[in-house]
Every structure is written in structure tokens, then in C-alpha cells.
Amino acid sequence: SQQGEEDPQALSIQEGENATMNCSYKTSINNLQWYRQNSGRGLVHLILIRSNEREKHSGRLRVTLDTSKKSSSLLITASRAADTASYFCATGAGNKLTFGGGTRVLVKP
Amino acid sequence: DGGITQSPKYLFRKEGQNVTLSCEQNLNHDAMYWYRQDPGQGLRLIYYSQIVNDFQKGDIAEGYSVSREKKESFPLTVTSAQKNPTAFYLCASMSTGWNSPLHFGNGTRLTVT
């Protein structure tokens, strides 16, 4: 079963625009993580937010977490063509991470 | 450089044959994981191991087996009992602690015909 579900499933934007994707989950978590996957490659860790944190920034990335609504959002500001990838949220409970189905982002130059 | 190496990148097998996918890490991580990814889908956990000589089933363990004889290595065998083995397989590792990220290899694409 998938714990996290991303929304939207796909997103197409122009270079320079912001991209926002959301993740909802069902059970209690220790942390929520976001990963990026380029086509045919492994996943790369972007950012981790702990259950007692509400917002975190890393470069052009901003992640929010609302544990009362069991949801998180990932914002990529000033997108670039190189941001074209699939983005996954993963929820952590103990040493086990469960992934959602991902959001496929296309940034058009 | 530290990292996770999966080999081979592409693997082709005939139906009915067992096949073993290699995963080696030099990050000194205790925990290792195998995930399966189908086209356009997310990752599903097959097996994971938190220490040497111990491993647990994930959500879709049927038709798969693993071993963890060394800290650095966590091979996955796809057996003939796996009904739909064609997929992209990803290995990952994590240091101990509940708030650690996963480090992934670049995957093995298995095609069974």
C-alpha cells in the first residue's frame, strides 16, 4: 500500500515559473522526505522535514508540513529546464520509508 | 567517492529462470533496501535489512529472496515464482537513525521474456 499520494500526477510549466506539488499521507510519521528522479536513474534526496517542523528551505526548494491535515507541499521557485524530473514524497516511520506515486514535472524552456 | 553500485544496468532473462541483482555500498550504512518501480509508478518496498544476517519482508516480497552476509552487500534474487518480474529495481541504503535520508543506486532494469 502507498502511504503518500502526490498531487498533481503531472505538471507542465514554463522556465522561470514556480512549481508546486502536494503530498498526502495516512498514518503517523517521524519525517517526510522529498526525492527527485531523472528518467531511468535512481532517486536523489532533496529535503527532509521532521514531524515537529512546519517549514524548511533548501536553495530554491521550500517544503511545508501540516501534520494535522497529514499533508506536505514542495515548492520549486524560478524553475529551470534541469528541474524536469519526477518528484516523490516519502514518509518515514522508524527505518522504513514508503513512497507515493510521484509528480512528473516538465519545465519548458 | 562513496555510493551505491548496482549491476548490471540492464538484465535480460527467459521466463522460469532465477536471476540475482547485485547491490554494493561503501557508505558504511547499516540499513539497505530493495524497491521495485513499474513504469510511471512510485516505488514499492520488496525487502529491507537493518543489520547483517537479518532482513524483513516489505510490501511485495513474494517471489523474491535476499541475503545480507556482509554489511556492504545486499543481493536480490528474482525467482521464477515472481509472476511479473519485468521492472526497474532500485537498491538504497540509510545510516541508522529515524531522520536519515535514503541513498539510491542507479537501478537495474530487468526484462523477462
| Interchain proximity B90–A41, CB inside 8 Å | no
Q: Closest Cα partner for B46 from B67, B60, B56?
A: B60
| CB contact B95 to A (< 8 Å) | no
> For A44-66, what is the mean pLDDT?
96
B106 has a chain A CB within 8 A of its CB: yes
- Please compute the mean of the pLDDT values over residues B69-97 and round it to a whole number: 94
Contact between B41 and A101 using a beta-carbon 8 Å cutoff: yes
Give the pLDDT band (50/70/90) at residue A76: very high
**Residue B98: band (very low, low, confident or very high) from pLDDT cuts 50, 70, 90:** low
Q: How many CB atoms lie within 10 A of CB A61?
A: 16
Q: Select from A57, A74, A54, A92 the least CA-distant residue to A6.
A: A74
Query: B27-61 pLDDT, tens per residue?
Result: 999 999 999 999 888 899 999 999 999 999 999 99
DSSP B14-55: -TT--EEEEEEE-S--SEEEEEEE-TT--EEEEEEEEETTEE
